[in-house]
């Protein structure tokens, strides 16, 4: 009898140990997982589902995540995930004109434009993917509202903006600016991906190139040019949208252009963005806020939104 009690007592003790170990392990696991869940929930709170793109002002693919495409608009910043789900980023409904990403640093953006309350924003940056923004400066004769802005991928402290008929250039990340007179209207500023001294300007008067950081310009295409995109790894390869050529591609830095047979339903191409992770992938945003995607270097396009 005593041996039986002893035997069952040992078994009971072992069972209690197992239960205690299970509880301890479960609590430990909960404590480890809970912060991750909380962090994920916090990120999700910064994204609000949206039905449509309206009044687009800029386009960029996430520098580190090809599944995310950012669209700057008159009413805030949007992100399209997996070419399907559209969200508003953060809580701001400000007008983000001159929107430019840092193509080599994920979640770092630059913008200008107008606050929802009215007036001009000046120059500002975001380091959390557009959730929050910090004003860096007013620019010259500002606060400015750069309707066109370009940031060098080779030197992100080198920034170009167009305001009230003049080019402004900063060499220190937007803290200080130098005014450079310019003789044509600018609708887009695109920094070269191989030489930080080279910058392009799309204009109603053509496509212009500067080889000295905007000090002087030479026209390379006639007629209205709405935008230009430069291949991230091969600066000789570019895609342009123009009145004369429609959508066209060059492999020799603009010496020769080959037309791409795509009409986009008669809509005007306003923005072209390369995927910096997958260079054969590009996106286009039109004046009707339609979004197109190419997966073969811009030769063929399909409408995704």
CATH number, domain containing residue 167: 2.130.10.10
- The dihedral built from the CA positions of residue 164, 165, 171 and 173, taken in this order, carries a sign that is positive
Q: Do 27 and 53 fall into the same domain?
A: no
Cα atoms in the Cβ-side hemisphere of radius 13 Å centred on 162: 22
Q: pLDDT by residue (tens digit) across 135-169?
A: 999 999 999 999 999 999 999 999 999 999 999 99
Per the structure block, which two tokens stand in for 174? Answer: 């937007």
Q: Do 185 and 272 fall into the same domain?
A: yes
Alpha-carbon distance of 277 to 269, in angstroms, equals 23
- The DSSP bridge partners found for residue 78 are 71, 88
How many residues does this entry show for the chain? Answer: 305
Q: Do 12 and 156 fall into the same domain?
A: no
CA 263 from chain centre, in angstroms, equals 25
Residue reference for tokens 């995540």: 65
Q: Yes or no: say if 124 and 133 are a contact pair by the CB < 8 Å rule.
A: yes
Core vs surface per residue 80-112: b (16+ CB within 10 A) or e: beeeeebbbbbebebbbbbbbbbbeeebbbbbb
Alpha-carbon distance of 73 to 77, in angstroms, equals 6
Q: pLDDT by residue (tens digit) across 58-70?
A: 999 999 999 999 9
Alpha-carbon distance of 58 to 150, in angstroms, equals 11
Whole-number pLDDT of residue 44 = 61
Per the structure block, which two tokens stand in for 110? Answer: 């630059």
Q: Do 82 and 147 fall into the same domain?
A: yes
Q: pLDDT by residue (tens digit) across 208-248?
A: 999 999 999 999 999 999 999 999 999 999 999 999 999 99
CA 2 from chain centre, in angstroms, equals 78
Q: Do 76 and 165 fall into the same domain?
A: yes
Nearest one of 98, 154, 153 to 121, comparing CA atoms: 98
Question: What pTM did the predictor assign?
Answer: 0.85
Q: Do 105 and 216 fall into the same domain?
A: yes
- The dihedral built from the CA positions of residue 253, 197, 297 and 206, taken in this order, carries a sign that is negative
Q: Do 237 and 274 fall into the same domain?
A: yes
Q: Over the chain, what is the mean pLDDT?
A: 88
Q: Do 20 and 122 fall into the same domain?
A: no
Q: Do 23 and 100 fall into the same domain?
A: no
Residue reference for tokens 């080779």: 154
Please, which pLDDT band fits residue 17 given cuts at 50, 70 and 90? very low
Residue 16 structural domain = 1-45
Q: Do 55 and 190 fall into the same domain?
A: yes
Number of domains observed in the structure of the chain: 2
β-strand pairing of 123-126 with 56-61: unpaired
> Please, which residues have CB within 8 angstroms of residue 20's CB and are 6 or more apart in sequence?
none
Per the structure block, which two tokens stand in for 108? Answer: 């770092």
Q: Do 86 and 166 fall into the same domain?
A: yes
Q: Do 69 and 207 fall into the same domain?
A: yes
Q: pLDDT by residue (tens digit) across 180-205?
A: 999 999 999 999 999 999 999 999 99
Alpha-carbon distance of 174 to 161, in angstroms, equals 10
């Amino acid at each position: 009898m005593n041996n039986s009690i002893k035997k069952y007592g040992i078994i009971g003790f072992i069972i209690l140990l197992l239960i205690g170990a299970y509880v301890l392990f479960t609590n430990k696991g909960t404590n480890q997982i809970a912060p991750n869940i909380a962090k994920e929930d916090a990120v999700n709170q910064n994204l609000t589902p949206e039905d449509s793109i309206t009044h687009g002002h800029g386009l960029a693919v996430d520098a580190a995540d090809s599944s995310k495409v950012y669209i700057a608009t008159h009413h805030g910043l949007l992100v399209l995930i997996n070419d399907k789900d559209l969200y508003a980023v953060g809580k701001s409904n400000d007008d983000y004109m001159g929107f430019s990403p840092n193509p080599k640093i994920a979640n770092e953006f630059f913008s200008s434009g107008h606050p929802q309350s009215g007036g001009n924003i000046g120059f500002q940056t975001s380091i959390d993917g557009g959730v929050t923004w910090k004003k860096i400066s007013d620019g010259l004769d500002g606060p400015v509202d750069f309707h066109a802005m370009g940031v060098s991928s080779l030197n992100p402290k080198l920034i170009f903006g167009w305001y009230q008929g003049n080019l402004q250039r900063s060499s220190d990340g937007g803290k200080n600016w130098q005014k450079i007179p310019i003789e044509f209207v600018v609708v887009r500023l695109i920094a070269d991906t191989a030489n930080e001294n080279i910058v392009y300007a799309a204009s109603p008067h053509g496509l212009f190139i500067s080889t000295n950081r905007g000090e002087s310009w030479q026209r390379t295409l006639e007629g209205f040019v709405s935008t230009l995109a430069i291949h991230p790894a091969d600066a000789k390869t570019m895609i342009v949208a123009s009145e004369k050529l429609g959508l066209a591609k060059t492999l020799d830095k603009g010496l020769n252009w080959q037309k791409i047979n795509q009409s986009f339903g008669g809509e005007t191409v306003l923005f072209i963005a390369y995927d910096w992770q997958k260079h054969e992938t590009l996106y286009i945003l039109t004046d009707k806020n339609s979004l197109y995607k190419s997966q073969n270097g811009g030769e063929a396009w399909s409408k995704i939104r």
